[in-house]
Amino acid sequence: MKRIVIATLALVAAAGAYAQYSGSYTFGGSTTVAPIAYAAIERFQKENPGLKISYEAVGSGGGLKALLAGQISLSGSSADFSADQLKGAVATPIALDGLSVIVNKKGTGIKNISMEDLARIYHGDVTNWKQLGGANAPIVVVNRDESSGTYAAFWELVCQKPFGKAIAYTKNAIVTKENGEVAVKVLATPGAIGYVGMAFAQEVIKAGGLELSIDKVMPTTANVVAKKYPISRYLYIVTKSQPVEGTVEKAFIDYILSPMGQAIVKSADYIPLPKK
Amino acid sequence: MRRRKILEGAVEATLFAAALLSVVTVVFITAFLFQRGSPLFEKVPVLEFLFSSRWEPTAENPGYGILSFILGSFLVTGLALLIAVPAGLAVGIYLAELSDGRSARFIRSAVELLAGIPSVVYGLFGIAVISAVSRTLFGGSGYGALSAAMILAIMTLPTIISVTEVSLRAIPRELKEGSLALGATHWQTITRVLVPAARSGILAGVILGMGRAIGETMAVLMVGGNAPIMPSGLNGMVRTLTMNIITDMSYATGDHLTSLFATGMVLFAFILVLNLVVQLALKKSISDLEGKSGE
């Protein structure tokens, strides 16, 4: 009996997956979710040739506003909206976004840093490791370029609380284009500090770098999932109501949650959802 | 006979078309660059673009000032030439005048090899070696104007060396012989007669190297630090025009993207001026030689 139920379920799921969708849809929202959305939309459209979806990267707040106003039918969000803000809309987690702080072992002399000190480094208020109880050496700040999503995410998660919403990183920082370049610069420069996507930090550790714990919490997937590690957040897809079976929105969410979709999440440098 | 004429005509037409192709390409690139870049100046005054150093293209109130990048380009290129010109001249003179055949062949092939190394490899070398050297010698983080200049100096050396050598060799024999016959030593002949006679050619080589340095992207990107600030000294971080374009290109949209094309226009103008100077210098060098040999 059980087997039949499973087989039936599998069939239904398969039928669902192969159902063809068509029409024009507008999604929108978070710029952080955009790389996932763009890649998923591209694949999803290939499987459904009659379908046209656009994703407007207007930010999480703008996306929710447009969703509630009925201008779009699905929005991406990197903000953890409260029930009040959602006004009945439903947020489905689709991925995790976590950043690791890495330093060069030479010329730093610390293994843990508080969120506050980290923010002060990137705001330019602390310029020597001695001020944080480390080595007497200048801090070489490695940042990402202005248009990177990680650049905005790091400000939002680390610096926004003490220094406000408008990004005001210290300008006296090495600007790099990719996670890989951050790693290379940090590994080659004594006293250097940088941040990379969590998935990338393992490469840095293998190459001799050091991953800092933040307020004594190590950046592990488990700590991120338990919401203990502070430089992390969930990414969501928000729909106006509980997604309804048979709609494009539901199929799209299912697609992102499928192994295929989670692979897209990973290749966009985010953390796939933990397997339950 | 007639057939041969037709064939010749066809070959000529083909070659002409090929020659025309490069002209057409240049025209298209120029037109495209200006078509995409100039709309920026409807929103940002040209003077503000060139003389403001506030580069915050994604801020609420965006700033598109590239002065610090222009100065960065000049600083890095100038420093590079300061290192490369004396060294390049020395090697060029050695190759043309002082070396025996074997060592010259050896050095020449090493220089040619240097010219063939991809710039990204220079960049890797820069991260691994030059930034560390610069950090030890001059302090700072090791990513800055000086490191970028050292890399560019190495990269421009081959151009300067070979043009110097060729210019020296192109000097009519009588000049050298005359100087020696008047009792000048070999060294006096080199410094007082040969180098001055070849100066226009050497200058052209230096400017060609300068063109290469100002247009170089990858290698300086890897060691320059790339901070969008005014260069604060020799070991301060620097962002050049080329670095600015490549850093923002992948994500930029709207006015930000247009501003990158406009940055390209500025770079294009610099290169154009350099090229004109090279052509003038070469023309002068040729007329100098003709004038002298005709005397």
Compute the average pLDDT of residues A220-246. Answer: 88
Is the model more confident about A17 or about B238?
B238
What pLDDT does B233 receive? 83
Predicted confidence (pLDDT) per residue in A27-59, tens digit: 988 877 888 999 999 998 998 888 999 998 877
**A174 to chain B: which residues are within 8 Å by CB?**
141, 143, 225-227, 237
- pLDDT tens-digit readout, A65-84: 889 989 999 999 887 788 88
A246-273 average pLDDT score: 90
Q: Would you state the pLDDT for residue A140?
A: 93
Q: How is residue B98 annotated by DSSP?
A: I
Q: What angle do CA B129, B134, B136 make, to 5 degrees?
A: 95
Q: In whole angstroms, give the CA distance from residue A241 to residue A125.
A: 45
Please provide residue B183's backbone torsions phi and psi, each rounded to the nearest 5 degrees.
Answer: 100, 5
Quote the strand ranges of A1-139, DSSP E.
23-29, 51-57, 74-77, 90-103, 112-113
As separate numbers, helices (DSSP H) first and strands (DSSP E) second, chain A gives 12, 11
Measured between beta carbons, the chain A residues lying within 8 angstroms of B256 are 147
pLDDT of residue B74: 93
pLDDT attached to residue A15: 46
Residue-level pLDDT at B294: 44
How far apart (Å, rounded) are the C-alpha atoms in residues A199 and A272? 10
Work out the average pLDDT over A132-151. Answer: 86
Chain-chain contact of B135 with A189 (C-beta, under 8 angstroms):
yes
The shortest C-alpha distance from B252 to chain A (Å) reads 7
Do A142 and A204 meet the contact criterion of CB atoms below 8 Å apart?
no
The bridge status of strand B55-56 relative to strand A74-77 is unpaired
d(CA A140, CA B131): 13
Q: In terms of pLDDT, which residue wins out, A269 or A91? A: A91
Please tell me the distance from the alpha carbon of residue A106 to that of residue A41, in angstroms, as a whole number.
45
Q: Does A180 touch chain B (CB under 8 A)?
A: no
The listed CATH number (3.90.226.10, 1.10.3720.10, 2.60.200.20, 3.40.605.10) that belongs to domain B51-294: 1.10.3720.10
Strands B55-56 and B63-64, by their bridges, are: antiparallel
Spell out the residues 6+ positions from residue A8 whose beta carbon is closer than 8 angstroms to its own. none
Question: Which helix (DSSP H) or strand (DSSP E) does residue B78 occupy?
Answer: helix B67-93
| Distance in Å, alpha carbon of A147 to nearest chain B alpha carbon | 6
| CA distances to A75, A155, A191, B39, B84 from A110, in Å | 41, 22, 10, 50, 41
Give residue A224's pLDDT. 86
Q: What is the pTM of this model?
A: 0.74
Q: Which of residues 126-155 of A touch B (CB under 8 A)?
A: 138, 140, 145-148
How does DSSP assign A100-159, residue by residue?
A: EEEE-STTT--SEE-HHHHHHHHHTS--BGGGGTS-SSB-EEEEE-TT-HHHHHHIIIII
> Any idea which of A6-10, A98-102, A227-231, B272-276 has the lowest mean pLDDT?
A6-10
Q: CB of B229 within 8 Å of any CB in chain A?
A: yes
| Confidence label for A203 from pLDDT (cuts 50, 70 and 90) | confident
pLDDT at position A19, please?
Answer: 61
CA A39 to centroid of chain Cα atoms: 15
Domain boundary assignment for chain A? 2-96+233-267, 98-232
Q: How confident is the model at residue A197 (pLDDT cuts 50, 70, 90)?
A: confident
Quote the minimal CA–CA distance from A276 to chain B in Å.
Answer: 35
Q: Which two tokens stand for residue A83?
A: 């029930």
Residue B38 burial (C-beta neighbours within 10 Å; 0-12, 13-18, 19+): middle
Which residues in B lie closer than 8 A to residue A177 (C-beta atoms)? 221, 246-247, 250
More confident residue, A169 or A149: A169
* pLDDT exceeds 60 at position A150: yes
Coil, strand, or helix at residue A217? Answer: strand
Domains A2-96+233-267 and A98-232 share a fold: yes
**Chain A residues with beta carbon closer than 8 angstroms to that of B142:** 188-189
Dihedral (CA of B39, B42, B47, B50) sign: negative
pLDDT at A26 over 60: yes
State the Cα–Cα distance between residues A182 and B70, nearest whole angstrom: 25
What is the pLDDT averaged over residues A185-192? 92
The pLDDT value recorded for residue A2 is: 55
CA A124 → CA A116, A117, A128, A181, B238, distances in Å? 12, 10, 10, 21, 18
Mean pLDDT for all residues in chain A? 86
- Write down the CATH number for the domain with range A98-232: 3.40.190.10
Phi/psi for A24 (5° steps) reads -115, 135
Does the CB of B239 have a partner CB in chain A at under 8 Å? Answer: yes
Q: Which of A56, A58, A103, A177 to mutate to test the interface with B (most CBs of B within 10 A)?
A: A177
Tell me the pLDDT band of A18, cut-offs 50, 70 and 90.
Answer: low
B106/B164 Cα distance (integer angstroms):
17
List chain B residues with pLDDT less than 50: 294-295
Give CATH superfamily name and number for A2-96+233-267.
Answer: Periplasmic binding protein-like II (3.40.190.10)
A38: tokens are 């763009």
Q: What is the identity of the amino acid at A29?
A: G
Residues A148, A185 contacting (CB under 8 angstroms)? no
pLDDT digits (tens, 9 = 90+) for B161-175: 999 999 999 999 999
Give the list of residues 6+ apart from residue B112 with CB closer than 8 angstroms, or none.
Answer: B158
Residue in B226, B251, B256 closest to A174 by CB: B226
Cβ atoms of B112 and A172 within 8 Å: the answer is: no
Report pLDDT for A201: 84
State the angle between helix axes of B254-294 and B199-215 in degrees (0 to 180), rounded to the nearest 10.
Answer: 170
Q: Which DSSP letter does residue A55 get?
A: E
pLDDT at A258 over 80: yes
CA distance B124 to chain A (A): 10
